[in-house]
Amino acid sequence: MSEMPKVMRAWEVTKPGPIDQSPCPLQLVEKPVPTPQVGEVLVKILACGVCHTDLHVTEGDLPVHRERVTPGHEIVGRVVQQGPGTQRFQLGEKIGIPWFRHACGVCRFCRSGRENLCPHSTYTGWDHDGGYAEYVTVPEGFAYRLADDADPMTTAPLLCAGIIGYRAYLRAKVPAGGTLGLYGFGGSAHLTAQLAIQQGIEVHVFTRGQDAQKFALKLGCASAQGAYDKSPVLLDSAIMFSPAGAMVPNALANLVPGGTLALAGIHLSDVPSLNYQQHLFHEKEVTSVESNTRRDGEEFLTLAHRLRIQPTITSYPFEKADEALKRVAKGNLDGACVLKISDDHIAKK
């Protein structure tokens, strides 16, 4: 390994606000390369996905947890330094860093296998500097081991969009051979659609974007229509990826009796008044999704490899992270946006 630099380039949220305002709330700066603490490793970042949650952090939809935070939590990189007490990863090993950064391990949620509900949990790119940078640290117990030949650009979206979509899929209780509605069709939904179709589920998409509708049909979805349209068939399950709460009543109305709607986002605008008979009666269920457990991540990454789930990506250079986030804000995405941070030239030892 070459000598570590002392300074790196990184994007940070100077003052949360609309991404298209001037000056932009996301600024490229120089800051010290972080030092790995006990149980942490330092990672040289190769690629980082651009997630809608990064937009919520940048624009202030989520409360500030760290001043001038560096966003980004779909990170692929190589270990370049080991902190005290680390032994899981070797220098040069390729790993993935997700949104879920740490949990206490001792509360009743952690002890019952629900660490995603830990009141002391912390998150990459919100509580701690994330992947819109050249280097990042991570507790080694909360990173994922990746194949050495894994493509950083197409692997990055799996680490949040894919994993969160998988947990939402589980929470939606999709029955074998059933029908599934996806509301919104961006980075997470297009991966969840592939997972469902590969498992014999009939998928129907509801989204405002014409390009996104065409993309859904190209992936093999049974139908694609407007965000507020009536479903061509009643749905056993539905997942709301869009942050628009106004879509919830229509999603509930499209469910069969006993159907389940899972709300997958970390942020959702206010939900309009619901009519009990039309939207909730007949034992319909509404559930939310909060982050994921490490088990979710391991299961999904195994399934993604086995089922050959392949993200469709649009690549952006590191220097244009602000432009990538503006693109996410516009919606109607054809897959996921990914930042190329550096070339993979570190030899594995």
Cis-peptide, bond into residue 23, ω within 30° of zero: yes
- The answer on pLDDT for 210 being more than 50 is yes
CB 309 within 8 A of CB 189: no
289 pLDDT band, cuts 50/70/90, is very high
Q: Which two tokens stand for residue 296?
A: 């979710």
pLDDT, one tens digit per residue, over 88-139 is 999 999 999 999 999 999 999 999 999 999 999 999 999 999 999 999 999 9
pLDDT band at 3 (very low <50, low <70, confident <90, very high): confident
The pLDDT of 151-168, averaged and rounded, is 96
Task: Look over the chain and give the mean of its residue pLDDT values, rounded to a whole number.
Answer: 95
67 — pLDDT class (breaks 50, 70, 90): very high
CA atoms within 13 A on the CB side of 147: 9
Q: What is residue 183's predicted lDDT score, i.e. its pLDDT?
A: 97
Per-residue burial over 318-338, b if 16 or more Cβ lie within 10 Å, else e, is beebbebbbbbeebebbbbbb
Residue % of the chain over a pLDDT of 70: 98
Question: What is the average pLDDT across 72-78?
Answer: 98
Asked whether residue 10 carries a pLDDT value surpassing 80, the answer given is yes
Is residue 247 pLDDT above 50, yes or no? yes
Query: What percentage of residues in the chain have a pLDDT greater than 90?
Result: 93
Confidence check: pLDDT of 280 > 60: yes
CA–CA distance, 71 with 92 (Å, rounded to integer): 24
Handedness of CA 107, 71, 52, 179 (dihedral sign): negative
Q: Which helix (H) or strand (E) holds 44?
A: strand 40-50
**What residue type is assigned to position 21 of the chain?**
Q
Query: Residue 204: how many CA atoms within 13 Å on its side-chain side?
Result: 21
Number of DSSP helices (H) and strands (E) in the chain, helices first = 9, 17
Is residue 39 a contact partner of residue 86, using CB atoms and an 8 Å limit? yes
pLDDT of residue 334: 77
Residues 6+ apart with CB under 8 A from 202: 178, 179, 180, 222, 233
Provide CB contacts within 8 A for 168, sequence distance 6+: 188, 192, 239, 241, 262, 264, 289
Distance CA 266, CA 100 (A): 12
Contact 134, 140 (CB under 8 A): no
Mean pLDDT, rounded, for 151-162: 96
* pLDDT higher than 80, residue 1: no
Q: pLDDT by residue (tens digit) across 299-347?
A: 999 999 999 998 999 999 999 999 999 999 988 777 899 999 999 875 4
Determine the residue type at 143: A
- What pLDDT does residue 2 have? 62
pLDDT at 347: 44
Give the pLDDT mean for 150-154.
96
